Copies of this chain bind each other. A is one copy, B any other.
């Protein structure tokens, strides 16, 4: 049986124009990588939006990053202060990974 290790699975939902900045934070936290998940539309307290809006002004994206506890905490600490002002949504879950040393 293959051995697995516990890691943090971090999802950050944000306005697409903010993506480059958040990727910078991921790199600053020394996290090995990230993936951007495509979301089509959504709704919240500030109304509804859809991706198929040619202006791109309202598009949102989910950034997915897997990291160990320490790095995850570093990223969360960096992002928490701007969560409200930048309208981010931050979710942190637990996952088991194989090849855990890379994260």
Residues on A close to B: CB < 8 A? 1-2, 4, 7, 9, 11, 13, 23, 32-45, 60-62, 64, 66, 73, 76-77, 79-80, 83-84, 89-99, 102
Contact = CB atoms under 8 A, between A and B. Distances in A.
Contacts of A40: 36-38, 61
B95 A76 contact: no
Contacts of A73: 1
B32 A42 contact: no
14 contacts: A4-B92, A32-B44, A32-B45, A33-B43, A34-B42, A35-B42, A37-B38, A37-B40, A38-B40, A83-B98, A90-B99, A91-B95, A93-B94, A93-B95
Contacts of A44: 32-34
A42 B45 CA distance: 29
B45 A39 contact: no
Contact of A35 (B7, B35, B62, B92): B62
A84 B99 contact: yes
